Amino acid sequence: MLGLWNKLLNKYGYPKVSISLMLVVMLSLAVWLGLDPVELVRSSLVRSAMNSVLVLAMVPAVACGVGLNFALSIGIVGGLMAGLISMELGLRGVLGFAFSVVLSVPISSLLGYLYGLLLNRVKGDEMTVGTYMGFSFVSLMCIGWLLLPFRRPEMIWAIGGKGLRTTITLSGYYDKVLDRLIPLGGLPVGTILFFGLLALLLKLFMESKWGMALKIAGLSPSFAAASGVDVDRQRILGTMISMVLGGIGILVYAQSYGFFQLYVAPLMMPFAAASAILIGGASARHASISHVISGVLLFQSLLTVSLPVINKMMPEGNLSEVIRIIVSNGVILYALSRSSGGDVR
Amino acid sequence: MVLSFGSVPVLELLNITKEFYGNRVLKGVSLSVMPGEVLGIVGENGAGKSTLMNIVFGMPVIASTGGYSGEIRFEGRTVRISSPREAASLGIGMVHQEFMLLPGFSVAENIKLNREPTRPNFLSRLLGERLETLDLKRMGEDSRKALDELGMDLDEWLPVAGLPVGYMQFVEIAREIDKTNVKLLVFDEPTAVLSETEAERLLEAIRVISSKGVAVLFITHRLHETLAVSDRVVVLRDGEKVAELRASEASVGQLAEMMVGRKLERSLRRGRGPGSAGEPFLVVRDLHVDMPGERVRGLSFQVRRGEIFGIGGLAGQGKIGIANGLMGLYPARGEVYKGGKRLELGKPELAIRSGMAFVSEDRRRVGLMLDESIEFNIAATAVQVKGKFLKDLFGGLLKMVDWSAIREHALRCIKDLDIRCTGPDQTVRKLSGGNQQKVCIARALTLEPDLLLVSEPTRGIDVGAKKLVLETLVRLNEEMGMTILMTSSELAELRLVCDRIGVVCEGKMTAILPPDADDRLFGLAMAGEKIQAA
């Protein structure tokens, strides 16, 4: 028994094993408390699909050597901006969503490029700097959302008529446009396929000559330099791809959720994405698409299942939110304490 | 010099032996130094000089690697020095190669650091000695005295930060002689960073110090300096004391010969390289490379097509910088022509494209990605720079890495170079040093170079594997006609495989010698004495 336990730990690592166990406990509790297990699984899948692309955005950042992208909120803001512009133009349905995605790419790329320039000046401290850069940018955009000249009545404050609302509903635009693209028992098939497509594209890129350069730069900067790879350029490229995926990720998230959330909503989103991929078995130096899939499934399922269970057991207060924060931050703390400082010159 | 300070040696080492992980670096070394005497110690890198000093200083590295055997006597009493602090309290001082000075403090503050004279004040009476006021006046006076003894006309209240390097060295020395109880002073390569006139002044200072009854151990590779200042000279080679001479009876040539010694068997070469008939293939003119610790300062040489050209010299003299500069890994300037074409320096990609490949001396950082597979390591550079192992996708829109072609190539390399491993997907970290080095060579050969630069190919490799690596290089040269530029700290191995050997000292090439040249010539060249090529 102990042998099996150690084998599991060695193969999957503490977070993955303990979160899986916790998930099993929660599921059993749910069934015992009389919750509908099928519905729980369904909503777990919906939530996982909703977050999947945001988690995928961590992969290129880790691969190019800048570590987990705690400033993903910058890319998220880029995606939100694109979404709002398409809304302002009155584009709806699949067209509106597609337009938002296409428009978000140049916006997030530009932001990612500038942020990448910054990261090349703070080598070794990317994750610390990134965290605060993300916070600062979100705060800056709180002013931006108030001042930007959007006019559509659904988007701006009803009273006063100026500044964007904190929550903007997408119903009538592209609410659940991917989730319901292929109707199949309430499962978000379209969103899963969209994630699959992006994951495939990322995989192809990583297996190409360019992706290999990115990987080499992340694995060993000195080896990369001696192999004629421009390390700084690869780091910028990796950061840009991460930000672009972050932008697309928030659009996928929003269509499934049904709302754009502005102002401080993007603040903590990078942390949820980071903890998901860490639970999946990634580290600050190594991450793959399989880490994304297993991580997002485990993390989101746990949150989805534990929420009604804890609410039912302890009806007072919102303990489920507390649990979510403890789990996600605990996992980040654990994973970061395990990752070494890396190759810093 | 008259030895009138007593007849008991200040320091006596008896039969000191030290092993590092089964490797004997000191084999029964004995020496002694009298009060007021200057004892010179000379030897190549790895001869055991630094280990010997680490033992005398009780450096933790000695105890943590199993201690030493033999006896140390200080002023006639047997001592076991277990920490630098203990060494200092006995009266052993050391002038370091690297300066241990606080740049923001003044000269006087540095000299008296941690030994400041103090006056009690009312706070210190209340709260203890540590709060006593510094006696700045006395600090200045003491420092002035120490500086005057060294003949230094330097304001004791200047901050250290802006001083020329040479002055910093003197501040270090002033600190040591200011210590009232100092009985033995060790100088470890003190003139390495000094200009010629500063070095002269330093030698003068050493004479002054010894004339006051302090014993001096003077470690250097500059032989004429040793002879100028020492009373006796001890020569170390391969951890053994090979000679002890009176300086007045020794010559530079004699010391050089003893330092190098004949320690090789027959050359590994069957046929010789192209000889003087070979056309110049790599022409280097006035090369400067800014590699920390291995600066190259205006060096010229030529490598002929098809030869193995060796670069030797002591550590820190710049030999390592040459290949790194040519490959563009460190900022470099100068004229380099390869096969008649000018090579732009500072860009590794261009260097590789021009047909050069580099097996780095820093195997674990620059040479390999330790946690990746053998095949990835072998192929990575070729994929990036040469566009090998790629196949088109979407009609050439994306160039995909062809892992099956890489696997095939890696298997061939493993067989050709006899890399001992469980397979091409094994991580390189798990390989032995020798096999890691073979992976590095395979990686370089995959670039299909016509000029191979190899730095320290046998560093950190056990004896058996060393020979295999060297034989591989010879085979490449003789069977495939590869031109090789090989840099090594081990003169013996250069003499085994090279056609010609250039010796580097202080960033310049002091001589280019045939491998069977006299030991004396090699010794002189490494010590920086200009000699005419034989």
In chain A, whose CA is at the least distance from the CA of B351?
A: A228
Is pLDDT above 60 for B263? Answer: no
In tens, the pLDDT along B228-261 reads 899 999 998 878 888 888 988 888 888 888 887 6
Provide the pLDDT for residue B192: 67
CA B233 vs. chain centroid, Å, equals: 21
Lowest mean pLDDT segment, chosen from A2-16, A215-229, B126-140, B296-310: A2-16
Chain A residues inside the 8 Å CB shell of B364: none
Q: Are A279 and A16 in contact (CB under 8 A)?
A: yes
| B345 Cα to chain A: minimum distance (Å) | 13
Chain A residues inside the 8 Å CB shell of B371: 219
Cross-chain residue pair B381–A343, CB shorter than 8 Å? no
In tens, the pLDDT along B57-77 reads 888 888 888 888 899 998 888
In chain A, whose CA is at the least distance from the CA of B358?
A: A226
Q: What is the pTM of this model?
A: 0.75
Provide the pLDDT for residue B333: 92
Provide the pLDDT for residue B311: 94
Provide the pLDDT for residue B168: 82
Write the residue in A208, A223, A228 that is nearest to B385 by C-beta: A228
ipTM > 0.90 for the complex:
no
Residues spanned by the domain of A85: 49-266
Instruction: Give residue for tokens 């709260």.
Output: B127
SS3 call for B169: helix
Mean pLDDT over all residues of chain A? 87
Q: How far is Cα A22 from Cα B217, in angstroms, rounded to an integer?
A: 68
Interface test with B, best of A203, A210, A212 (most B CBs within 10 A): A212
**Residue A17 resides in a domain:** no
Chain B residues inside the 8 Å CB shell of A211: 401
SS3 call for B188: strand
**Residue A35 resides in a domain:** no
**Residue A12 resides in a domain:** no
Q: What is the DSSP letter of B279?
A: P
How far, CA to CA in Å, does B488 sit from each of A109, B25, B223, B319?
47, 19, 22, 8
Provide the pLDDT for residue A345: 31
In total, the C-beta contacts within 8 angstroms joining chain A to chain B are 71
Cross-chain residue pair B385–A209, CB shorter than 8 Å? no
How confident is residue A344, by pLDDT bands cut at 50, 70 and 90?
A: very low
| B386 Cα to chain A: minimum distance (Å) | 10
**Residue A107 resides in a domain:** yes
Q: How far is Cα A328 from Cα A19, in angstroms, rounded to an integer?
A: 11
**Residue A286 resides in a domain:** no
SS3 call for B63: helix
Lowest mean pLDDT segment, chosen from A168-172, B218-222, B269-273: B269-273
Provide the pLDDT for residue B152: 78
Q: What percent of chain A has pLDDT over 90?
A: 47
How confident is residue A340, by pLDDT bands cut at 50, 70 and 90?
A: very low
Is pLDDT above 90 for B517? Answer: no
| A55 Cα to chain B: minimum distance (Å) | 25
Q: Which two tokens stand for residue A260?
A: 């754009």
Helix, strand and coil percent figures for chain B, each rounded to 5: 35, 25, 35
**Residue A302 resides in a domain:** no
How confident is residue B262, by pLDDT bands cut at 50, 70 and 90?
A: low
Residues in chain A: 345
* Closest CA relative to residue B403, chosen from B424, B432, B419, B431: B424
How confident is residue B158, by pLDDT bands cut at 50, 70 and 90?
A: confident
**Residue A291 resides in a domain:** no
Interface test with B, best of A216, A219, A222, A223 (most B CBs within 10 A): A223
How confident is residue A156, by pLDDT bands cut at 50, 70 and 90?
A: confident
Is pLDDT above 50 for B264? Answer: no
Is pLDDT above 90 for A238? Answer: yes
Q: Are B244 and B232 in contact (CB under 8 A)?
A: yes
Residues in chain B: 534
3-class DSSP string for chain A: CHHHHHHHHHHHCHHHHHHHHHHHHHHHHHHHCCCCHHHHHHHHHHHHHHHHHHHHCHHHHHHCCCCCCCCHHHHHHHHHHHHHHHHHCCCCHHHHHHHHHHHHHHHHHHHHHHHHHHHCCCCCCHHHHHHHHHHHHHHHHHHHHHHCCCCCCCCECCCCCCCECCEEECCCCCCCCCCCCCCCCCCCHHHHHHHHHHHHHHHHHHCEHHHHHHHHHHHCHHHHHHCCCCHHHHHHHHHHHHHHHHHHHHHHHHHHHCEEECCCHHHHHHHHHHHHHHHCCCCCCCCCHHHHHHHHHHHHHHHHHHHHHHHHHCCCCCHHHHHHHHHHHHHHHHHHHHCCCCCCC
In tens, the pLDDT along A245-261 reads 999 999 999 999 989 99
Instruction: Give residue for tokens 């700045």.
Output: B136
Domain count of the fold of chain A:
1
Q: How far is Cα A217 from Cα A234, in angstroms, rounded to an integer?
A: 7
Task: Please name the amino acid found at residue A76.
Answer: I
Is pLDDT above 90 for A108? Answer: yes
Write the residue in B366, B370, B371 that is nearest to A226 by C-beta: B366
Per the DSSP assignment, residues forming a β-bridge with B452 are: B357, B484
Chain B residues inside the 8 Å CB shell of A223: 365-369, 380
Q: How far is Cα A223 from Cα A220, in angstroms, rounded to an integer?
A: 5
Tell me the average pLDDT across B383-405: 86
Q: How far is Cα B389 from Cα B140, in angstroms, rounded to an integer?
A: 70
Q: Are B403 and B366 in contact (CB under 8 A)?
A: no
**Residue A284 resides in a domain:** no
Q: What is the DSSP letter of B501?
A: E
Q: Residues of A near B (CB-CB distance < 8 A)?
A: 204-205, 207-213, 216, 219-220, 222-223, 225-229, 343
Task: Please name the amino acid found at residue B372.
Answer: E
Q: What percent of chain B has pLDDT over 90?
A: 22
Provide the pLDDT for residue A316: 72
Mean pLDDT over all residues of chain B? 84
Provide the pLDDT for residue B288: 93
Provide the pLDDT for residue B194: 72
Q: What percent of chain A has pLDDT over 70?
A: 96
Is pLDDT above 50 for A187? Answer: yes
How confident is residue B358, by pLDDT bands cut at 50, 70 and 90?
A: very high
Write the residue in A208, A223, A226 that is nearest to B399 by C-beta: A208
Q: Pairing mode, if any, of strands B118-119 and B133-134?
A: antiparallel
How confident is residue A341, by pLDDT bands cut at 50, 70 and 90?
A: very low
Q: Which two tokens stand for residue A309?
A: 């269970």
Write the residue in B348, B369, B399 that is nearest to A209 by C-beta: B399
Please indicate whether residue B310 or residue B466 has the higher confidence score (pLDDT).
Answer: B310
Q: How far is Cα A201 from Cα A186, in angstroms, rounded to an integer?
A: 27
Chain B residues inside the 8 Å CB shell of A233: none
Give, in degrees to the nearest 5, the angle at Cα A186 between A182 and A192: 55
In chain A, whose CA is at the least distance from the CA of B323?
A: A226
Q: Which residues of A293-313 are buried (b: 16+ CB within 10 A; e: fewer)?
A: bbbbbbbbbbbbbbbbbbeee
In tens, the pLDDT along B174-208 reads 888 888 778 898 888 777 667 777 788 888 888 88
Inter-helix orientation angle B433-446/B403-416, to 10°:
120
In tens, the pLDDT along B454-476 reads 998 887 776 667 778 888 888 88
| Four-CA torsion B394, B399, B404, B410, nearest 10 degrees | 170
Provide the pLDDT for residue A85: 93
Provide the pLDDT for residue A34: 85
Tell me the average pLDDT across B379-388: 90
Q: How far is Cα A58 from Cα A244, in angstroms, rounded to an integer?
A: 11
Helices and strands per DSSP (H, E), number in chain B:
18, 24
Task: Please name the amino acid found at residue A57.
Answer: A
CA B273 vs. chain centroid, Å, equals: 29
Cross-chain residue pair A228–B381, CB shorter than 8 Å? yes
In tens, the pLDDT along B96-113 reads 766 678 888 888 888 888
Q: What is the DSSP letter of B244?
A: E
Please indicate whether residue B138 or residue B149 has the higher confidence score (pLDDT).
Answer: B138
Interface test with B, best of A203, A204, A227, A343 (most B CBs within 10 A): A227
Q: Are B353 and B347 in contact (CB under 8 A)?
A: no
